[in-house]
Chains A and B, each alone.
Chain A
Amino acid sequence: MTKKMNESFASLVILVPIIGAFTIPLFAKISPRMRVLAATIIAFSTSLLAMSLIPFVIGGNEFILRKPLILGFDFVLIVDALSVFMSIAASFIGALIVLYSAGYISHDENQTEYYFMVLLFIGSMMGLVYSANLIFMYIFWEITAICSWRLIGFYRLKEFVVKANKAFLITFLGAVVMLLGFILIYNQTNSFDLTTMRGTMVPGMAVLLILIGMFSKSATLPLHTWLPDAGIAPSTVTSLLHAAVLVKIGVYAYARIFCWTFQMPDTWYQVIPVIVIISSLVAAGAALVENDLKRILAYSTVSQIGYIFLGLSTMNPIGIAGAILFLLMHGLAKGGLFLCAGIVEHNTHKRDIRELGGLIKTMPITAICFLLCALSVIGIPPFGGFFSKFMVIMGAVKAGQFWIAGLGLFIAVLTAVYLFRVFNMVFLGDYSKLDIDIKEKTKSMLFVVIVLAGCSLLAGIFVNYPMKLVNVATSEITRWLTPWLAAQHY
C-alpha cells in the first residue's frame, strides 16, 4: 500500500466513528433498525480500517502525520505497531459490544443517544491512541470522560447519576492534574509533540502529576473506587469501559508517554511497581468479599490493570511485551465476562451472586463462555491470558523484583479463587433458588459472547500471530532504551 493510502486510512480510523456518531440521529429518523445497523457497520469498519494498517507496521515501519497549527499545538498522528495494536484491540472489542447491544439495549429508551455516545467513545479512543501531541491526547481524554459520564448514568435514576458524577469527577480531577504535568513538560521542552521529545528526562513532579491522571483513568489505587460503582451502568457499557475503551486509556498513555517517549527519574521505576501491585492486591481482596456480580468483575479489572502497569514499569522487553499483549487478552476475556454477566442480569434481574445458582442447566453456552473467559483472566494456558500474565511476571523477575513477582503470582491464585467462586455460585449448585423460566438470550448476544470466549482461546493457541505485532511494538519502545538498559545492568 502506498504511503498516501496509509495516511488516509489512519485519519479515517478516527474520523469514521466520530463523524459516524453524528449520523446516528439521522439514521434514527429513518428507523430503529437502521440505527442499529448503521452503528454496527460504523463500528466494524473502524475495526477493519485499523486492521488494514497491520501489513504496514508489522515490518517495523512507522509514520507521523503532521498538520501544523499555532503554538506547538500541531495535530500529530503516529502510526506504529503500538498504536495499531491498541486501536485494533479497542475497536474490535468495541464493535462486538455494539453488535451485542442490538439485543441487550433493544427495550430501553434513549437508544439514539446510546449509540451516539458509544461511537463517539470509540472514535475519541482512536483519536487518543493515534495522537502524538499531549494537548490532543488531553482533548480526546476528556471527550471519553464526557461519554463515560453519560453512559454510566444511562438509566437516569437519581443514585445512578450520583455514581456517574463520581466517575466523571474523579477522572476529570485526574485529567486536570495531568494537564498540569503536561504544562510542566512544556516549560522544559517548549513542545507538546511526543515524537520530538523521545528520551528526554522529565522532572519527578511532572511524572507524579501525569501518573495521577493515568491512575484515575485506569482505576488504580487510590483512585479506583469509581470503577466498581460504575457497575450500575448497562452491562454493555461496563463491558465497553473495562474491556475496550476507558480503563485501557491510562495504561496506553503510560506506554506511550513513559515507555515510548520520556525517561523518568530512577526512583519511579522502583516506586510504581509497588503502588500497582498493592492496588492489584487490594482489589483482588475486595473481589473476594463482594457479592455483587458486576462489582466483583470490576474489582478484577482493577486487579488486572495492576499487572499491565507492572509489566510496563519493568522496562525490559519481556515485561513490556507482556503488558502490551495484556491489553488485548484482558480486553477479550473481560469483555466476555461482562457480557455473560449481562446475559445473567438480563435474564434473572439479579446481580447478587448469593441469590443465583445452577444456571448452567438452562444457559449452558453462557456458562461455558464465562468459564473460558475466566480461565483466560486467571492466566491459565492454553488461553491467551496466560502468555500476557506470564511475561509480565517474568519481566518483574528480570527486573530483580522477586517479591513483586511472587505477589503477582499470589494474586493470580486469588483471581482463581474469586472468579471460581462467582462461577460456582452463579452457574453451578442449587437451581431451585430461582423460580423463573430462564432461557438463553438472543442469537446476536450469544454469538458475541462465543466470539470473545473463542478468541481468548485461539489467541492463546495461535499466540505467535499477535506476538509478531507485539514484538515490533516492544522493539520500537525499547530502541532508545537499549543504552539505558545497559547502564542499569539488566
Chain B
Amino acid sequence: MASSTTLLISILLPAVFAVIVFLIPSKLRALRNAFSLIGAAIVLCLGFYLFGVKNAELNIPWLGMDINFDLRLYHLNSLIIMAVSVFLFLITIYSFVKMKEHPRAREYYTYLFLTVAFVNGAVLANNFVLMVFFWESLLVTLYGLIAIGNKEAYKTALKSFILVGFCDFCMILGIGILWYLTGSLNMPLAPLDPSSSGLAAVSCVLMLIGALGKAGVMPFHTWIPDASKDAPVTVMAFIITVIDKMLGIYLFVRISLDFFVIGMNSALSMFLMILGALTIIFALFMTFVQNNLKRMLAYQSIGEVGYMILGIGSATPVGIAGGIFYMLNQTLFKGGLFLSAGSIEHRTGTTDFDKLGGLRNKMPLTMICFVICAVACCGLWPFNGFVSEEMVMHGAKETGYIIFMIAAWIGTALTAASMLKAAHSIFWGKENKELSKIKESELLITLPIIVLALLCIVFGVHNYLPIVMFVEPIFYGYTGFLEHSGFTAHALNFFNPVAITSFVCILLGVIVYLYGWSKNSKNAASSSESVRSFPVLKNIYNLAEAKIFDIYDQGLKFLKVLGYILYYGVDRVIDFMYEKIIAGTVRVVGAILRFAHNGYYANYLAWCIGGLIIIVAVISLLS
C-alpha cells in the first residue's frame, strides 16, 4: 500500500535532509537555506497528508525474536506528526534570520531535521523496542542542539543528557517489566491494571517517569531553566517547549489509555494529580521571581506540564481531553512567547528585564503577538488557554478533590503576575537609552510569531474546531469517553463558578503584581521582590537558588561518593591483596626456600634422603 511506505518516508525524508544539509559546506549559506526550506516544506506537506490518511500500517522484519520494524499511523500520532511539521516549517524560516550569524548553523539544521525524523519514528512505532530506539535517539540531538549554544552550553547539554537519559532508562525497565507480565513487545495490548500486582504498578510508574521526565516534570526539570540560558532560543522554542512536551504527553496518553488502566481516584491517579499540582506550584513560584524572560518562560513551561499532568492524571474524560488540548495550546502560546523572546534578543541582544524597557513603540508587532500569547497563557477568556485550562479544572473537579483546583488557581494567579511583570518591564517601563535605535525584527522572524498568535485566537474563539478535529477523535474506540462528549460544553461558558474563580485569580495575580510594583519604587523588573522576601518563601527561594533541589547536582555528588567507596573500599583493597599480600607471601616463602638452597652438596643430599624416607613411610602406611 502506498500509504504504508509513506510512513517509512516520513522518517527517512527528514533524515535524508539532515544529511544533505550537513554535507553542504558552511560557506554556501544560501544553498543550505534553500534545502532546509524545501525539506521543511516537503515535511509539512507530508504531515498534512498523513493527518488526512489517518490509518496505515507497515511491518518489516527487523531484529528477529518477534521484534519487527512495526509502524502504525492513527489519529493521535498523525496529529503529533502534523503539529511537528508545522512547527518545523515555522522554525526553519525563523532561523534563516535568527541563526544567520551562528557559527554552527550547519549542525543546527542537521539536528533539527534529525529530531523530526526521530520524533516521527517514536510516535509511529508500534513496537516498544522500536519506540525506545527512536525515543532515546533524541538524546543525541538534544545534546547536540544544546551544545551548539554558548561557551558553557556543553555542561548544560550533559545535564540534560544525563537527566533525560535517566528517565529513559527508567522507561526501559518499565517496558521490560511490562513485557515480563504480558509476554508481548508489540503495542496493541490489553491494558494492564496497575493495582493488580506490585510489578504492574512498578512498571507503570517507571514508564510514567520516562514519559513525564521527557516533558520536564519535577524533579527532572532542572536542565530546562539552564538550557534557556545556554541553548539558542530557537532550540528552546522548538525542541524543549514543543517537541519534548508533545512527545512526553503523547506517551503519557498512551500509557493511561492503551497500556494501563488508570481509574478515577485510584492510587496512581492521586499520585499523578499530586505530582501535577506540586509541579504547578513550585515551578510557577520560581517563575515569578525570574529576572530574565527566557528563564521565566522555561520555568513557566514546566508549570504548564503540571497542568497537563493534572488533567490527564485525573483520569476523567474531560480532564484527559483538556490535558491533550492544553498540550496543543501550550505549544502555540509558549512557542509564540519563546519566539518573541528570540525576536527581542535578536534586536537588543538581551532578555534581562532590567536592561529592557519601553519597546512597545519600537517593536509593535512583537509586542502585540507577545501580549496575545501571554494573555492566552494566563488563561483569559476568550483565548485558547482559557478553554483548555477550564477543561483541566473541570476534570480535577470531577474527582471531587477541590485541593487540586486550588493549586491550579494559585498557578493561574502566579502566571498572570509573572506575565504582567514580563510585559510591563519589556514593552512599557523606563526606556533604556542604549536601545533607542531599535527597530522591529525582520518579517521572517515576526511571521511565525504572528501565525502562532493568530492560532491562539482561533483555537480560543473557535475552540469547537480543534476540539472536534483534533481532540475528540483520539477517544474513538475507547469506551466511556464519547458518551461524555460535548467537551465543548465546559469550554467557552464563561459564566460558571470555575471559570469565574479563575478570572478572580487572574485579578488576584494582577493585584499581587501591582502591589509589588508600587512597593519596589515602581520598577517592573523588581516587582517580585515582595514575594521573594516573604518569610518562609525567602528560605525556599534561597535553597532553590543554591541548587539544593537540583537532582542533577545532588545526584552527581552521590555518584562521586559512591565512586570513592567502590574504588577505595573494594577495587583498591583487592589490588592491595595482589600487590602486597600475595606478592609479599611469595617473597617470604622464596626467601625461606633460598635459605634452604645454600649450595652445599651435603645439604641437598640430606633433603633428598629425608624426602625419600617420608615417601617410603607414606607408601608403607597407606598399603
| B571 surroundings in chain A (CB, below 8 A) | 225, 282-283, 285-286
| B263 surroundings in chain A (CB, below 8 A) | none
CB of A398 within 8 A of chain B?
Answer: yes
CB of A341 within 8 A of chain B?
Answer: no
Q: Which of B158, B173, B565 contacts A424 (CB 8 A)?
A: B158
| A281 surroundings in chain B (CB, below 8 A) | 566
Taking CB as reference atom, which chain B residue is nearest A281? B566
Instruction: Give the B interface residue count (CB, 8 A).
Output: 46
A317 engages B65 (CB within 8 Å): yes
| A464 surroundings in chain B (CB, below 8 A) | 61-63
A428 and B154 in contact (CB under 8 A), knowing A285-B565, A420-B161? yes
B interface, by DSSP: helix, strand, loop or mixed? helix
CB of B564 within 8 A of chain A?
Answer: yes
B129 engages A390 (CB within 8 Å): yes
Which stretch, A132-140, A193-201, A238-246, A411-419, touches the partner chain B? A411-419
The A-contacting residues of B in range 68-126, CB under 8 angstroms, are none
B65 engages A382 (CB within 8 Å): no
Bound CA–CA A432/B198 (angstroms): 55
B162 engages A417 (CB within 8 Å): yes
Taking CB as reference atom, which chain A residue is nearest B60? A464
CB of A166 within 8 A of chain B?
Answer: yes
* Mask of B142-178 contacts with A, CB within 8 angstroms, 1/0: 0000000000001100100110011001101100110
| A285 surroundings in chain B (CB, below 8 A) | 562-567, 570-571
Instruction: Name 17 interchain pairs, CB-CB below 8 A, sorted by A.
Output: A221-B570, A288-B562, A289-B567, A375-B140, A380-B139, A380-B165, A381-B133, A381-B134, A386-B136, A387-B63, A393-B173, A398-B180, A409-B169, A417-B559, A424-B155, A464-B63, A467-B64
| A224 surroundings in chain B (CB, below 8 A) | 574
The B-contacting residues of A in range 364-417, CB under 8 angstroms, are 375, 380-382, 386-387, 390, 393-394, 397-398, 400, 402, 405-406, 409-410, 412-414, 416-417
| A414 surroundings in chain B (CB, below 8 A) | 559
The A-contacting residues of B in range 461-475, CB under 8 angstroms, are none
Taking CB as reference atom, which chain B residue is nearest A173? B582
B563 engages A288 (CB within 8 Å): yes
Bound CA–CA A468/B139 (angstroms): 27
* Mask of A462-474 contacts with B, CB within 8 angstroms, 1/0: 0110011001000
A394 engages B179 (CB within 8 Å): yes
CB of B580 within 8 A of chain A?
Answer: no
Give the interface size bracket for A toward B: 35 or more
CB of A206 within 8 A of chain B?
Answer: no
| B574 surroundings in chain A (CB, below 8 A) | 221-222, 224-225
* Mask of B267-283 contacts with A, CB within 8 angstroms, 1/0: 00000000000000000
A318 engages B65 (CB within 8 Å): yes
* Mask of A28-48 contacts with B, CB within 8 angstroms, 1/0: 000000000000000000000
Residues of B in contact with A (beta carbons under 8 Å apart): 61-65, 129, 132-134, 136-137, 139-140, 154-155, 158, 161-162, 165-166, 169-170, 172-173, 176-177, 179-180, 199, 202, 556, 559-560, 562-568, 570-571, 574-575, 578-579
Q: Which of B155, B165, B177 contacts A402 (CB 8 A)?
A: B177
Bound CA–CA A472/B571 (angstroms): 38
Bound CA–CA A225/B63 (angstroms): 36
CB of A321 within 8 A of chain B?
Answer: yes
Chain A: minimal CB distance from B514 (Å): 46
B559 engages A390 (CB within 8 Å): no
A393 and B63 in contact (CB under 8 A), knowing A286-B566, A413-B162? no
B176 engages A412 (CB within 8 Å): no
B566 engages A413 (CB within 8 Å): no
B575 engages A225 (CB within 8 Å): yes
Bound CA–CA A319/B420 (angstroms): 56
B137 engages A382 (CB within 8 Å): yes
| A166 surroundings in chain B (CB, below 8 A) | 578-579
A380 and B140 in contact (CB under 8 A), knowing A288-B560, A318-B65, A394-B176? yes
